[in-house]
Chains A and B, each alone.
Chain A
């Protein structure tokens, strides 16, 4: 039998960790007691806006009964743990962890810009930058001027002529099935194949949900802000005057590819670079921001389209815009106080 002498140098640290844990528990108990004094108990969430790592306890059994489990959480041993790096947030009784950055997860009704990847049977496989697979069925597209007819076998054979691989399309999410598959549709004249422009991909957290996602700038440039972070910048689509929105526009069908003049190309390039600039500084992308920077930038006729991407030029235009916004905001606040 060996005579073994063991010392563990971490004994002090284990005691310290225990003491810290006891302090944290007591503080949270006091917090919980304080929150129970409020009449409306739903106002107080114990861990609001707290940054959590995977595995951290968000709600224990004392608070678990008052909340519903949302995204970014999992339940184990009667407690809610976070499973992503994010911030705790809540809506009424729903508590969830808001991720800092992530891939696009679909919502029904979102306008998307996607890329046709493949054709299989009677569906197109669309790449939308998500981890769910996305399908566009032939019965969800408009295939002729006289719509609303049964799809025949010849239509399935001729799918390559409607959308071929590597086409860029605008579409909408119709349904999300139970296994996470996204079903798309293009049953409108504003959806369909996109042409005469460029596609840029930005993080999808910079594009927020709003009423409109298709804008036309005064400089004859159209922009489509897809909810999945894909942005299409092109010359505007020509439309006939009397058009049923649920059918195919004949002028759109006939004017697919056309020559874009030099001025419009330059404007498309400037707006593309402005969006790249906003992405670099993690600023939300919307029409007003882009339009203001564009007007301010093109007031000087000597500026070339790529000049805005130089660091000092970008900083000066952005901070000039921010200063204007802050000053106008302060004046508005001053007026409200008066």
Chain B
């Protein structure tokens, strides 16, 4: 019966991640564990729609991170809105049922207030006196980069709802790691969940969520966690993130214009024929 026993791996077997890790240490370059380049973003999918209650919605997925946002309003609201300006209400819920450990309630409230402040400053609230705008976000799946995807999704839903706003918000997640042996710093764009966990255990990591107004060229959202921030590294990370946001934003703008133009032409063709 000894010959039917399953073979054991040999004594110096290494996993795929360990091989990549050793390769990164030996060579001067850096390679990600999912074969993406340092500046490569995951696959993006956007769908704009509207429901029967005169609301507009946007479904935004970036890899396996999926966000659904619905915007209701502006509606007359005599209870909460002030006399000269409207008011924005934001509700974020998560369907993530495999969370390891309880999430930090205080941190979530801080991030939510940051989001509300950012969106309230982007929407021209002076044009909607005594009105309220309700935004509901549903995080269907969280695979890293959830905060930046939520912000972009809210911005696209507001555009679909024809709410007057200053600019499109484009948001992205930048992580910076330091190699412990060679002391080099690498900037990685748009990590997913597995990468986040792995690099957090192996390297020393900073994480920045940056949101910019695409045409006005201003930063409207900035949130970061990490341990080795100083002025030099922050400047480099911010400029890196700004370039990434501009590339992502120009792509979103181009696709959105093409889609809208195609839709307009199909509608106006029928209208012009009938008129």
A8 to B237, CA, bound (A): 10
Contact flags A22-52 to B (C-beta < 8 A → 1, else 0):
0000000000000000000000000000010
A interface, by DSSP: helix, strand, loop or mixed?
loop
Q: Is the CB of A284 within 8 A of B271?
A: yes
B37 contacts which chain A residues (CB < 8 A)?
9
Q: Is the CB of A284 within 8 A of B239?
A: no
Shortest Cβ distance from B128 into A: residue: A131
Contact flags B227-244 to A (C-beta < 8 A → 1, else 0):
000001100100110011
A102 contacts which chain B residues (CB < 8 A)?
162
A4 to B183, CA, bound (A): 7
- Other A-B pairs, 4, CB within 8 Å; known A10-B243, A100-B264, A103-B162: A4-B184, A6-B187, A55-B215, A180-B130
Output the least CB separation between B72 and chain A (Å): 11
Partner of A53 from the list B83, B168, B187 (CB cut-off 8 Å) is B168
A250 to B38, CA, bound (A): 80
* Of B3-11, B108-116, B140-148, B255-263, the one with at least 4 CB within 8 A of chain A: B255-263
CB contacts between A and B, total, < 8 Å:
127
Q: Does B219 contact A (CB under 8 A)?
A: no
B159 contacts which chain A residues (CB < 8 A)?
53-54, 85
Q: Does A283 contact B (CB under 8 A)?
A: yes
A283 contacts which chain B residues (CB < 8 A)?
270-271, 274
Shortest Cβ distance from A120 into B: residue: B78
Listed residue (B83, B233, B243) with the most chain A CB atoms within 10 angstroms of its CB: B243
A interface, CB within 8 angstroms of B: 2-6, 8-11, 13-14, 17, 51, 53-57, 72, 74, 76, 81, 83-87, 99-103, 129, 131-133, 179-180, 281-284, 289, 322, 325-326
Q: Is the CB of B273 within 8 A of A72?
A: no
Q: Is the CB of B257 within 8 A of A51?
A: yes
Shortest Cβ distance from A329 into B: residue: B273
* Of B16-24, B99-107, B194-202, B245-253, the one with at least 4 CB within 8 A of chain A: B245-253
Interface size on B, residues (CB 8 A): 56
A8 to B216, CA, bound (A): 23
Shortest Cβ distance from B268 into A: residue: A282
Given the contacts A131-B73, A325-B273, A85 and B184 also touching, CB distance less than 8 Å: no
Contact flags B88-106 to A (C-beta < 8 A → 1, else 0):
0000000000000000000
A–B complex contacts, Cβ < 8 Å, 17 sampled: A13-B246, A55-B168, A55-B213, A55-B216, A74-B166, A83-B165, A84-B163, A84-B165, A85-B260, A102-B162, A103-B162, A131-B73, A133-B78, A179-B130, A284-B275, A325-B273, A326-B273
B interface, by DSSP: helix, strand, loop or mixed?
mixed
Q: Is the CB of B274 within 8 A of A325?
A: yes
Q: Is the CB of A101 within 8 A of B162?
A: yes
Contact flags B104-143 to A (C-beta < 8 A → 1, else 0):
0000000000000000000010001111000000000000
Partner of A57 from the list B164, B215, B239 (CB cut-off 8 Å) is B215
B257 contacts which chain A residues (CB < 8 A)?
51, 53
Given the contacts A85-B162, A131-B131, A51 and B264 also touching, CB distance less than 8 Å: yes
Q: Is the CB of B243 within 8 A of A8?
A: yes
Shortest Cβ distance from A85 into B: residue: B159
Q: Does B25 contact A (CB under 8 A)?
A: no
Query: 7 tightest A-B contacts by CB?
Result: A55-B167, A10-B243, A55-B215, A131-B74, A133-B76, A83-B164, A9-B39
Q: Is the CB of B261 within 8 A of A322?
A: no
Q: Is the CB of B261 within 8 A of A13?
A: no
Given the contacts A9-B39, A132-B76, A4 and B185 also touching, CB distance less than 8 Å: yes
Output the least CB separation between B187 and chain A (Å): 8
